[in-house]
Amino acid sequence: MRFQSLLALAATSALLLPLSATAGKLPANYQATCVTQAQAQQKTMSKADAERHCSCAGNVLEKEFSDAQIKDLDSSDGVDADTMKRAQEKIAAACKPKN
């Protein structure tokens, strides 16, 4: 998978979070929404690969971000650039596709 594709998936994963303290909670529909959007962005991605990536990304987000940060990542009134960058970097580092 190209680096650009990985960044796109990381951004998608970070933006899919609707919902304060580290160990935040993802919304109930995170996994299904993430898989759908990942496959829409990466037409060649299998459902199994999308599920693996979204599960990994969700684990990273829950472990590294507070509820408030997770909620901000899905905000429709603008996302904090530093929080988004940190989320993308952490997801990209932890969820590299297996070749």
* Torsion angle defined by CA atoms of residues 31, 82, 5 and 99, in that order, rounded to the nearest 10 degrees: -80
Question: So where are the chain's domains?
Answer: 3-94
Q: Are 38 and 54 in contact (CB under 8 A)?
A: yes
Cα first-last separation, the chain: 8
What mean pLDDT, rounded, does the chain reach?
A: 82
Sign of CA dihedral 57, 62, 67, 68: negative
Percent with pLDDT over 90 in the chain:
51
pLDDT at residue 36, rounded to an integer: 94
d(C-alpha 51, C-alpha 45), whole Å: 10
How far apart, in whole angstroms, are the C-alpha atoms of residue 30 and residue 44? 21
pLDDT surpassing 70 at residue 63: yes
Q: What percent of the chain has pLDDT over 70?
A: 75
pTM above 0.75, yes or no: no
